Structure 1
Amino acid sequence: MTLQPLSWTEPSTWAVMALSVIFLCLGGLFIAFPTAGAAIFGIPAPSDVSAGYLRAIGFRDVALALYLGGLALFSTRRAVCLVLGASVFIPVCDVILVWSSGSAAAWQIALHVVSGAILVLIAAWVARTPVDARSLRPE
């Protein structure tokens, strides 16, 4: 994997940016509407105290969105892959959290599993160094 930046001509760049937008919207939902966030996340509806923790999940997701977007725009392919790969820890821990709460439905647990799988797949996609079309032309 080279230290080259992502290019806007690569679909993988658009996938990273789409993921960033999704996490930004999800984070905004948790911050503005913690009860709705809890329903999606797979934990019981919040009390006054737990609403603050749900908002913290929202701030975490907004931060992840900003990391991904910023790295995709201004950093290297390797940095984007590193953050995507390390971020798999988030849905793994989320699965453990909602599973141990005993209140999550199967679809809510599956949502976290799919989230982790998407992070892994996009990291693998971005890690592939794109073939430069100019290098394929005969000299």
Structure 2
Amino acid sequence: MDPRSPPPGDGRLTPADLRLWAVLGLALVFLALAALFLAAPALGALIYGVPAPEGIGRTALRAIGARDAALALYLAGLALFSTRRAVAIVLAASLVIPACDLVLILSAGTAAWWQVALHGVSAGVLALTALWLARRNHSA
């Protein structure tokens, strides 16, 4: 067996595999969030759970947009050109994002319950998708 090839049962996602479309859907969601934070930072702040800052503070919101765009591109690129194991690892590692976001908005004390829930749901979706991809048997 060639050491550069993916291990058996851990190959690439194919168009027939629902997991490919789930990951591409997640990538699309993160790309839409990125566009929102880059184009309308005040609305992004509302969704994120912090007051909309003025001036240079908007730069931090746009940085969130850039982060989300990068995550979308990582996920799409890996889903299309790498192994499902690689996608699962990146999704699992990406749990740092909603975890840190939760800490930040909770420490700010400005988030409504639905904003906290949104970050919690985000973490749950990333974790469940990573676990789904990590399973050798891809049945739902």
TM-score, normalised by the number of residues in structure 2: 0.90
Which residue matches 2:12?
5
Structure whose residues are more often helix by fraction: 1
Matched, 1:50 2:19: no
Alpha-carbon distance, 1:130 to partner:
3.9
**1:13 Cα deviation (Å)?**
1.0
Tell me the distance in 2 between the aligned counterparts of 1:46 and 1:8. Answer: 42
What is the match of residue 72 of structure 1? Answer: 79
SS of the residue 2:56 aligns to? helix
The percentage of aligned residue pairs carrying the same residue is 53
Q: Is the 8 A contact 1:29 1:37 kept in 2?
A: yes
Q: Mind listing any 5+ residue stretches in structure 1 that lack a counterpart?
A: 132-139
| SS, match of residue 106 in structure 2 | helix
Alignment pair present for 1:92 and 2:106? no
- Is the Cα contact below 8 Å between 2:91 and 2:130 reproduced in 1? yes
Q: Secondary structure at the match of 1:69?
A: helix
Q: Once the 2 structures are TM-superposed, how far is the Cα of residue 109 of structure 1 from its aligned partner?
A: 0.6
Rounded Cα–Cα distance in structure 2 between residues aligned with 1:117 and 1:69: 19
- Give the partner amino acid of 2:46: A
* 3-state secondary structure, aligned to 1:46: coil
The root-mean-square deviation of aligned C-alpha atoms, in Å, is 1.2
Contact 2:10 2:136 in 1 (8 A): no
CA contact (8 A) 1:43 1:98 kept: yes
- List structure 1 segments (4+ residues) > 3 angstroms apart after TM superposition: none
Q: Extract unaligned runs of 5+ from structure 2.
A: 1-6
1:15 maps to 22
